[in-house]
Structure 1
Amino acid sequence: MMKKLLVSLFFLGFISTQAQNLIWKTNINDAIEISNQSKKPMLIMFTANNLADNLQNEIMKTLDFALWSRDNVILVKLDLSDSQASDSDKEQNLKLKNAFGVQDLPEICFANAVIRKNKTTFQALGKMAYKSGGVKAWITESNAILHPSDF
């Protein structure tokens, strides 16, 4: 019995750690390639420094989000205040923010994209800003955007 409890605690601790170590792509072209290979849409989070951490703490740092995102989306984080980003990446991220109509940060956009003849075409699926209500409500809203025929 004690052995099962220890194994369970170890497993839960491992998954909890994984929830905090999600793999976010920061280059949109890499994300598009992975998205197309895996046939999963991208979850693009437009963010910047010194923003409220509600979205991160209540949604993205949870086990539920980690499990959901692993199965449903390719995670992309575009930090509009990243001083380490090249000028071309900063310009590209700002153009994407404007193209998706992002007003407030942080904001999430769901999209598919293809690159043909060095031209990228995005298909916006929907977007959402942070709303209180917890991760389960957030996932339900995200699923409604990604799979509208199911709702």
Structure 2
Amino acid sequence: MKKIYLFVIFFIGIVAAQAQELKWHTDVKEAMAVGNKEHKPLLLFFTGSDWCGWCIRLQKEVLMTTEFKKWAKDKVVLVELDYPRAVPQTQAIKQQNFELQNAFGVQGYPTVWFATAQSQDGKVNFKGLGSTGYVAGGPVAWLEVANGILNQK
């Protein structure tokens, strides 16, 4: 009986932990399909994940927090557009990220753009809603800025 009880507690813990995990898309077309289906904007996170100190700080202080995870599940579709120095990427991902960096005029990291996207005649049209980056003050301060951007649409 004790083993069954421990198994049930362990299983509930695993399910709860998985429920807190977010899906970060790396394929923007896949993310667009989800966003359009769920009627949610994209959160495009332009990052240098393995070298950018402010990107790593934003990840730790905001993007990995419980508050952000709860907010993101309801509000946005997450897209990570990474520009690493040591982590290998496919040529297709590198090309996609380069094109999006140019399309959104990203010149520094971290940059977070909120956008909607539609595909028409094989071309993707983005509507930028606004952008931000690292915001001091943890998840509360960052989410205040993000909600301000999203509430303008």
Identical amino acids, percent of aligned pairs: 35
Query: Structure 1, residues 56-100: CA drift from partner, whole Å, max 9, x if none?
Result: 011011100000000000000011227533223212211111211
Segments of 4+ moved more than 2 angstroms: 81-86
Match of 2:52 in 1: 51
On the 8 A contact 1:43/1:110 being kept in 2, the answer is yes
Match of 1:77 in 2: 80
Q: 1:106 aligns with which of 110, 122, 129?
A: 110
Letter paired with 2:65: T
Match of 1:37 in 2: 37
Greater displacement, 118-127 / 76-85: 76-85
Unaligned runs of 5+ in 1: 1-6
Match of 1:63 in 2: 66
Letter paired with 1:14: A
Q: 1:14 aligns with which of 16, 28, 49?
A: 16
- TM-score if structure 1 supplies the norm length? 0.83
Match of 1:142 in 2: 146
Q: 2:120 aligns with which of 116, 121, 124?
A: 116
- TM-score if structure 2 supplies the norm length? 0.82
On the 8 A contact 1:55/1:130 being kept in 2, the answer is yes
Separation in 2, partners of 1:87, 1:148: 36
Separation in 2, partners of 1:63, 1:42: 19
1:28 and 2:36 matched = no
Pairing of 1:88-103 with structure 2 (within 5 A):
88-103=92-107
On the 8 A contact 2:42/2:115 being kept in 1, the answer is yes
Unaligned runs of 5+ in 2: 1-8
Match of 1:3 in 2: none
